[in-house]
Structure 1
Amino acid sequence: MTPTPASAAGRAVPWLLLAGVLVAALSLRGPIIAPTPVLRDIGEDLAIGSATVALLTTAPVLMFAVLTPLAALVIRRSGPELALLVSLSGVLVGTVVRALPGFGWMLTGTIVIGAAITIGNVVVPVVIRRDVPPDRVSIVTGAYVATLNAGSLLTSLLTAPLAAVVGWPTALLLWSVLSVAGIVLWGLHLARERRAGIDADERFSGELSPGRGAPGEQSPGKASPEDLDPRTLTGPMPVVSARAASFLRRPVPWLLLATFGAQTFMFYGLTTWLPVLTGDVLGLDRTAAGALASVFQGVAIAGAFLVPLLTRIAPAWVTVVAISGCWLALMIGTLTAPSLLVVWLSLGAIAHAGGFVVVFSLLVQVARSDAEAAGMSALVQGGGYAIGAVAGPLLGGLHEATGAWSAPLGLLVGIAAVYAVLLGAAFLAMRFSRR
């Protein structure tokens, strides 16, 4: 089948698209992580408790869960490129609002940031599926995850030193420079496409690229608008049309949802309180605690590439054992031997980045069309982030109730064990679905 001119043109510049995705990725996690090194200062200055201040990292994750179907509508109406530009603009606006005085403004800005990032979360896997050759999906997804973690690393490492000089409100505001860079690049890219006469929405809903259909299927023509109707894309409590029921009856998407939910719970729960935990357990000051916590983001950059390499050279069960074992080592090690925290954080970083790459690589591989990829992305991210949203307040509440970190870390050990079972089941289901 011959691709449409628009599709061909889109695939003629994959490196430009990849650069745009990677620059955008810097703004898709960093703004959420930025408050964590100064959470205790924020709580003290605004006279709020641990569970309440944790909303500053939990609210965006909750937006990921609730607004994923709406994000699909934005993508359908505007096309992926413009949708990503809207996402970055929203992050910029939210960052400015969050810097205004008062916890109400902080929470409002945080919600805006979460809503805007939701669009980017959904659209990036669709762009990767549309424009990246199938044999490169894992590597490109790894590069995307690595850049997500690079943004988190920068904000985790530098927010506390900046806050010491200019105060935490201004320090949080300064990270808007990442969003501005992404807006400039995507604005130029969108203008270039329009000058070339390429309609982004037509590209998204047009013919599938060669080899992208399901095995043994004839590739369809243009996708119907109903394929991307938000009513067919699911959040945590899906109500779907008959057209979307095909992938909802398959076990792999649901296993990926549960796996991703366990991962987001561990990641956001630990990330929210890691600087505070390291300060309490190891007696570090704010800057040193933030620097140590940044290991969790920094090593993840390498993990995003190590795990895809492992999947190429080793059987699937090795990948499952490696990722699951690293998560368990992080939680058990932090609980029993906190003096070696840098080791446990390094292992956990590999687990987090590798698990993200594996989940979304499996999602892309099992999807049979661009519309189904968007629907599965909405299902997995909507449900997964709904689970992850409760982690920060729950762990903060446990710590406040017990006065120690043993109970929160014990809960994370249990979640890590459940994650290991779910990830193995997802790989098995994927293997049998190919038969």
Structure 2
Amino acid sequence: MDRSEAVTPIPPRAPARGIPWFVIVGVLVAALSMRGPIVAPTPVLRDIEADYGIGSATAGLLTTAPVLMFALMTPLAALLIRRAGAELALLLSLSGVLLGTFIRAVPGFGWMLTGMFVIGAAVTIGNVVIPVIIRRDVPSARVGLVTAAYVATLNAGSLLTSLLTVPLASRIGWPAALLTWSVLTVAGIVLWSAHLRRARRKGDRWGERYSGGEPTGTAGVREIDPATITGPLPVVARGGRERSIARRPVTWLLLIAFAIQCGIYYGLSTWLPTITADELGLDPSAAGALASLFQGAGIAGAFLVPLLARFTPAIVPTLTICISWIILTVGMLVAPELTWLWLTIGAIGHAGGFVVIFTTLVTVSRTDGEAAGMSALVQGGGYAIGALGAPLIGGLHELTGGWSAALALLVGLTIIYSAGLLGAGVAARRR
């Protein structure tokens, strides 16, 4: 969903300089660990259920745990970044993902769930700080492109784990297969350790690197061009200064859209391999490969929606996202034999939905402070509600013995989602 979903204050930008390739490579390598570890267990959920003797609703908690941490940990993550600095915060994020991966490998479902909570808390820090690093270190003209590349790499990490976990599990067992993905995290730790040492040799500090430059708004953020937004807004609310946001209908429309997008994305990411295996009679490896289309096609989708936003009327990206989600859910319900097609189309929705939501948020906000408060409310509430998606889908499957009820629920949710997002789009056009 992609993709990059957290917030923190932005320091003023330094004078124009060359493209920081080392930073960009480090960001993209780190991105491989920002979604992959969360998606990794989904292709082997049936094995996990059988080995630990749990039901589908309980298994769904494995993706609920990290999404819930996104909602709870964002304020603490922003505080950590302000105190520790961006480079150290990202290094701590990757170290936390590695720790959670090892905790998850300890036998027992309780340990596995604990590991997912740790991974979620650690990923939250990365969600918050990576957009900040991009907007701080990358020249303004390249921010949109680099952020889109970051979102695409998030999908690439999910693609790798969805595609290869089952083949690995067939050879070494699913616990060892999940542990194998720690190699990507270790690579990120090595890169950012080197970058941190280099930054300290230069004497850089988070609060000192940019002490001057562009003026900032009331929330300590610089003006952001909605045309370059490719992910959630990297700002955080300051002390409830903008309480009027709760009285604006557009805030709740965006919250509804964000919550439903989170719920559908993480719910489908959790259960797609199982759904395709059950509905189409595929073996686990083929089901994982088919489900990986949902992540893989999102790589292209991450670039498509910003392109539409720049060259077409504002309604076009919004309609594209809504139609994409509706085609995906209706198609899977009525014609599961074409799941490959529905997943390819639906990937546009999950890759670009967050872009549309936060571009709309920027457009309707009247001040930087209002943007900060609205962003915090939409993300905090949205993640908390969206965390229910995976266990709800699993529970409906467990209750009915099939997937039709769960898929019908997703169809209904996408209709509500479309109404909320289009309503917010109308408010944005009036602005």
State whether TM-score is above 0.5: yes
CA 1:385–1:109 in structure 2 vs 1: closer, same or farther (change >3 Å)? Answer: same
Report the counterpart of residue 349 of structure 1 in structure 2.
347
Report the counterpart of residue 36 of structure 2 in structure 1.
30
Report the counterpart of residue 4 of structure 2 in structure 1.
none
CA 1:112–1:290 in structure 2 vs 1: closer, same or farther (change >3 Å)? Answer: same
Q: Deviations over 1:37-57 (max 9, x none)?
A: 000000001111111111111
Instruction: Give runs of aligned pairs for residues 27-426 of structure 1, distance below 5 A.
Output: 27-132=33-138, 136-203=142-209, 206-207=211-212, 209=214, 241-245=239-243, 254-362=252-360, 377-426=375-424
Amino acid at match of 1:380: V
CA 1:401–1:80 in structure 2 vs 1: closer, same or farther (change >3 Å)? Answer: same
> Aligned to 2:241, what secondary structure does the other structure show?
helix
Amino acid at match of 2:80: V
Amino acid at match of 1:243: R
Structure 1 residue 331, shift from structure 2 partner: 0.1
CA contact (8 A) 2:70 2:124 kept: yes
Q: Deviations over 1:238-296 (max 9, x none)?
A: xx734354766666555433322111111011111100000100000110100000000
CA 1:347–1:92 in structure 2 vs 1: closer, same or farther (change >3 Å)? Answer: same
CA contact (8 A) 1:80 1:201 kept: no
Q: Deviations over 1:365-388 (max 9, x none)?
A: 777999877665543332221121
CA 1:84–1:361 in structure 2 vs 1: closer, same or farther (change >3 Å)? Answer: farther
CA 1:318–1:165 in structure 2 vs 1: closer, same or farther (change >3 Å)? Answer: same
**Which is further off, 134-143 or 288-297?**
134-143
Amino acid at match of 1:169: P
CA 1:185–1:250 in structure 2 vs 1: closer, same or farther (change >3 Å)? Answer: farther
CA 1:73–1:357 in structure 2 vs 1: closer, same or farther (change >3 Å)? Answer: same
**Which is further off, 361-370 or 71-80?**
361-370
CA contact (8 A) 1:95 1:173 kept: yes
CA contact (8 A) 2:12 2:212 kept: no
* Paired residue total: 409
Amino acid at match of 2:36: G
In 2, the alpha carbon distance for the partners of 1:128 and 1:257 equals 25
**Which is further off, 143-152 or 249-258?**
249-258
Structure 1 residue 179, shift from structure 2 partner: 0.9
In 2, the alpha carbon distance for the partners of 1:284 and 1:347 equals 21
Q: Deviations over 1:355-411 (max 9, x none)?
A: 123334455677799987766554333222112110011111111111111110111
Structure 1 residue 114, shift from structure 2 partner: 0.5
Structure 1 residue 338, shift from structure 2 partner: 0.4
Structure 1 residue 134, shift from structure 2 partner: 5.2
Q: Deviations over 1:137-161 (max 9, x none)?
A: 4433321111100000000000000
Report the counterpart of residue 229 of structure 2 in structure 1.
none
Structure 1 residue 97, shift from structure 2 partner: 0.8
> Aligned to 1:8, what secondary structure does the other structure show?
coil
CA contact (8 A) 2:61 2:391 kept: yes
Structure 1 residue 124, shift from structure 2 partner: 2.4
CA contact (8 A) 2:332 2:407 kept: yes
CA contact (8 A) 1:282 1:339 kept: yes
**Which is further off, 96-105 or 155-164?**
96-105
> Aligned to 2:338, what secondary structure does the other structure show?
helix
CA 1:129–1:253 in structure 2 vs 1: closer, same or farther (change >3 Å)? Answer: farther
> Aligned to 1:202, what secondary structure does the other structure show?
coil
CA 1:348–1:380 in structure 2 vs 1: closer, same or farther (change >3 Å)? Answer: same
In 2, the alpha carbon distance for the partners of 1:275 and 1:219 equals 42
Percent identity, please.
64
In 1, the alpha carbon distance for the partners of 2:92 and 2:375 equals 19
Q: Deviations over 1:4-23 (max 9, x none)?
A: x9952796554433322221
In 2, the alpha carbon distance for the partners of 1:39 and 1:146 equals 25
CA contact (8 A) 1:233 1:379 kept: no
CA 1:254–1:10 in structure 2 vs 1: closer, same or farther (change >3 Å)? Answer: farther
Structure 1 residue 123, shift from structure 2 partner: 2.0
Amino acid at match of 1:75: I
CA contact (8 A) 1:208 1:370 kept: no
In 2, the alpha carbon distance for the partners of 1:176 and 1:416 equals 35
> Aligned to 2:207, what secondary structure does the other structure show?
helix
In 1, the alpha carbon distance for the partners of 2:184 and 2:409 equals 35
Unaligned stretches of 5+ residues in structure 1: 221-231, 235-239
In 1, the alpha carbon distance for the partners of 2:365 and 2:87 equals 21
CA 1:280–1:144 in structure 2 vs 1: closer, same or farther (change >3 Å)? Answer: same
> Aligned to 1:27, what secondary structure does the other structure show?
helix
CA RMSD, 1 decimal: 2.9
Amino acid at match of 1:341: T
In 2, the alpha carbon distance for the partners of 1:334 and 1:261 equals 21
Structure 1 residue 79, shift from structure 2 partner: 2.1
In 2, the alpha carbon distance for the partners of 1:19 and 1:248 equals 39
Q: Deviations over 1:296-349 (max 9, x none)?
A: 000000110111111122111111111110100000000000000000000011
CA 1:404–1:119 in structure 2 vs 1: closer, same or farther (change >3 Å)? Answer: same
> Aligned to 2:34, what secondary structure does the other structure show?
coil
In 1, the alpha carbon distance for the partners of 2:18 and 2:132 equals 17
